[in-house]
């Protein structure tokens, strides 16, 4: 029975691959005019949603942009967004409708999203159906995923005519092991994978046996905010984020007990909401900090609240690229953060534009906060340099990197499309380059039989061709050097199906098989 099941699965796989090959032959020319961004909950609250809105607003200047949200659980978006950006919701949970199929499938667990995905509980068999249908309905344009579950589904289901880009907001090493295994084997199908930090980019290069056609790093941009720069005269420290365990707010409250004992006139405000909100409120009462630590709830005007403070504190266990640090820098606050190995470590230069708490203990966090409170000169120096750092993450500077990425992916696809639709006579009449190189395979090289291609320099594994500069320490680089250093690895590695589709290895129409 198991052998029969394996044969059936193998047959289905062959049919699926054959269907995709036929789609390659009939695929429309590639285009970046339409950009679709997959998001879990567009009307929710969180750093990923805010950064996606920023990106969508920038791309809407030149592209037709639509955010495709898996869920709709609120009537209006929490964050502002450019009116040119449109929304589509696959599962409206406010008004589900009388569909009997939905009633049945929504009670069954997801089979498309891995169980280890942190948002797995938000998916079900109905969202699987809606997401699969949507992805397969696209035949051209750009599709961007924003979390591992969506990226994996996109890599598995997207048709060949769609340019697929995976964007990761959480470090690879923070993902569960089964997710990392799926990433190793499916992310190679993406046209591009974008990380937020240099450390995460390095991890992907070391981990993926075969990389996407483009593996690059583009950081988040500073979002637009209301108000002015903070005056630094308020005796207030702030923290912002969803109230989950990974944000470490319980550790921050414990550290503030030490701060309050020394400086009872200073206050701590933690903005946000989440499953730990009640527990944090109880911890404040038990610690006797009711008049010192405040939980005002979520705010959709972060800039206005940051402007009223002097110190920003980040107590997270892990962070990808925390938007809250960028926002605090842009408002000119002195920053104290745990030394998370990815985002904060790359964004903050210790003792220059912030303080990094390298031994991540509650006592060390309290000591760093007290140091900034007591040394006004240090506080103002950190804030001034933070403003300078924030300017390197200007939306136009970061947006230009996305423009360059889309232009490069489009050029690659246009080249592959031209090769695929070149007639045999055109191929025969095209003289080979006089000095072909492995990085720029000539039409003559593409006509070689498969066994000769295995020894070509172009077939060296990607990890062995990583440029020397990729092995430098991330801390030695600056945000201005984000124009990625993986150009050597990314030169014209057209996928095998593109070379096969080019028709250069097909026999001449005049050659016919012998008749029996």
pLDDT of 145 > 70? The answer is: yes
Segment 473-477 shows an average pLDDT of 39
Question: What ranges in 138-287 are assigned the alpha helix state H?
Answer: 148-157, 177-186, 198-207, 249-262, 277-286
- Cβ(242)–Cβ(40) under 8 Å? no
* Neighbour count for residue 421 (Cβ, 10 Å): 14
List, as one string, the DSSP characters of 13-64: HHHHHHHHHHHHHHPPPP--SEEEEEEEETTS-SHHHHHHHHHHHHHTTTSE
Tell me, what's the pLDDT at 485? 42
Q: Model confidence at 4, in pLDDT bands (50, 70, 90)?
A: low
Residue 82 CA to residue 86 CA, distance in Å, equals: 9
Tell me, what's the pLDDT at 476? 40
Q: Which two tokens stand for residue 171?
A: 């470090």
- Cβ(90)–Cβ(127) under 8 Å? yes
- Smallest CA-to-CA distance from 235 within 255, 209, 263, 257 is with 263
Residue 440 CA to residue 493 CA, distance in Å, equals: 8
Q: 335 forms bridges with which residues in the sheet?
A: 312
- Cβ(276)–Cβ(250) under 8 Å? yes
Tell me, what's the pLDDT at 128? 97
On average, the pLDDT of the chain sits at 82
Q: Which two tokens stand for residue 391?
A: 């300017």
Q: Which two tokens stand for residue 409?
A: 């992916």
Domains of the chain by range and CATH? 27-217 (3.40.50.2000), 236-391 (3.40.50.2000), 424-498 (no CATH)
Question: Residues 149, 153, 158, CA angle at the centre, nearest 5°?
Answer: 150
Question: What is residue 389's three-state secondary structure?
Answer: helix
Helix and strand numbers (H, E) in the chain are 19, 13
Sign of CA dihedral 406, 137, 10, 504: negative
Question: Residues 308, 229, 483, CA angle at the centre, nearest 5°?
Answer: 125
Q: 214 forms bridges with which residues in the sheet?
A: 192
Residue 152 CA to residue 164 CA, distance in Å, equals: 11
Tell me, what's the pLDDT at 92? 95
Tell me, what's the pLDDT at 172? 92
Tell me, what's the pLDDT at 463? 39
- Cβ(277)–Cβ(311) under 8 Å? no
Residue 10 CA to residue 351 CA, distance in Å, equals: 58
- Cβ(286)–Cβ(311) under 8 Å? no
Segment 160-187 shows an average pLDDT of 94
Tell me, what's the pLDDT at 347? 92
Supply φ then ψ for residue 170, to 5 degrees. Answer: -125, 140
pLDDT of 444 > 50? The answer is: no
Tell me, what's the pLDDT at 1? 62
Sign of CA dihedral 485, 489, 495, 499: positive
Half-sphere exposure of 260 (CA within 13 A, CB side): 17
Half-sphere exposure of 479 (CA within 13 A, CB side): 25
Segment 362-384 shows an average pLDDT of 96
Residue for token pair 């107590």: 315
- Smallest CA-to-CA distance from 191 within 150, 220, 158, 218 is with 158
| pTM of the predicted structure, to 2 decimals | 0.76
Q: Which two tokens stand for residue 11?
A: 């047959």
Pairing outcome for strands 192-195 and 86-92: unpaired
Q: Model confidence at 161, in pLDDT bands (50, 70, 90)?
A: very high
- Cβ(336)–Cβ(238) under 8 Å? no
Tell me, what's the pLDDT at 318? 79
pLDDT of 221 > 60? The answer is: yes
pLDDT of 125 > 60? The answer is: yes
pLDDT of 214 > 70? The answer is: yes
Tell me, what's the pLDDT at 459? 39
What is the percent of the chain with per-residue pLDDT over 70, rounded to a whole number?
76
* Neighbour count for residue 246 (Cβ, 10 Å): 15
Q: Bigger pLDDT: 427 or 393? A: 393
- Cβ(218)–Cβ(398) under 8 Å? yes
* Neighbour count for residue 111 (Cβ, 10 Å): 11
């Amino acid at each position: 029975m198991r052998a029969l099941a394996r044969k059936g699965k193998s047959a289905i796989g062959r049919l699926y691959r054959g269907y995709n090959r036929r789609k390659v032959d009939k695929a429309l020319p590639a285009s970046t005019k339409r950009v679709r961004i997959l998001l879990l909950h567009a009307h929710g609250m969180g750093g990923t949603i805010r950064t996606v809105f920023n990106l969508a607003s920038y791309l809407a200047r030149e592209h037709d942009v639509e955010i495709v949200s898996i869920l709709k659980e609120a009537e209006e978006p929490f964050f502002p967004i450019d009116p040119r950006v449109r929304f589509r919701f696959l599962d409206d949970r406010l008004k589900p409708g009388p569909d009997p199929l939905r009633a049945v499938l929504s009670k069954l667990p997801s089979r498309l999203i891995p169980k280890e995905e942190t948002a797995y509980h938000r998916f079900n068999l109905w969202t699987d159906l809606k997401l699969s249908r949507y992805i397969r309905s696209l035949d051209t344009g750009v599709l961007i995923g924003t979390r591992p579950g969506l990226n994996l589904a996109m890599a598995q289901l997207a048709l060949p005519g769609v340019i697929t880009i995976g964007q990761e907001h959480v470090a690879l090493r923070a993902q569960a092991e089964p997710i990392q295994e799926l990433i190793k084997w499916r992310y190679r199908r993406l046209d591009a994978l974008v990380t937020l930090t240099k450390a995460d980019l390095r991890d992907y290069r070391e981990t993926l046996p075969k990389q996407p056609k483009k593996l690059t790093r583009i950081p988040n941009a500073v979002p637009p905010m209301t108000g002015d720069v903070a005056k630094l005269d308020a005796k207030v420290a702030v923290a912002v984020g969803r109230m989950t365990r990974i944000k470490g707010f319980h550790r921050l409250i414990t550290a503030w007990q030490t701060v309050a004992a020394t400086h009872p006139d200073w206050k701590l405000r933690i903005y946000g909401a989440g499953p730990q909100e009640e527990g944090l409120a109880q911890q404040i009462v038990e610690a006797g900090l009711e008049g010192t630590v405040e939980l005002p709830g979520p705010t959709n005007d972060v800039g206005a609240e940051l402007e009223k403070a002097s110190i920003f504190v980040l107590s997270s266990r892990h962070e990808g690229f925390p938007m809250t640090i960028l926002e605090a820098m842009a408002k000119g606050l002195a920053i104290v953060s745990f030394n998370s190995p990815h985002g904060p470590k790359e964004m903050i230069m210790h003792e220059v534009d912030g303080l990094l708490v390298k031994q991540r203990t509650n006592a060390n966090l309290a000591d760093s906060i007290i140091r900034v409170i007591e040394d006004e000169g240090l506080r103002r120096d950190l804030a001034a340099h933070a403003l300078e750092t924030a300017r390197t993450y200007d939306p136009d500077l970061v947006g230009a990197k996305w423009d360059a990425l889309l232009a490069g992916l489009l050029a690659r696809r246009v080249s592959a499309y031209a090769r695929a639709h070149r007639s045999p006579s055109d191929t025969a009449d095209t003289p080979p380059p006089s000095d072909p190189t492995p990085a720029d395979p000539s039409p003559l090289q593409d006509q070689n039989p498969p066994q000769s291609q295995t020894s070509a320099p172009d077939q060296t594994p990607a990890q062995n061709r990583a440029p020397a500069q990729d092995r430098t320490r991330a801390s030695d680089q600056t945000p201005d050097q984000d124009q990625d250093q993986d150009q050597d690895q990314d030169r014209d590695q057209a996928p095998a199906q593109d070379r096969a589709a080019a028709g250069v290895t097909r026999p001449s129409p005049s050659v016919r098989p012998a008749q029996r």
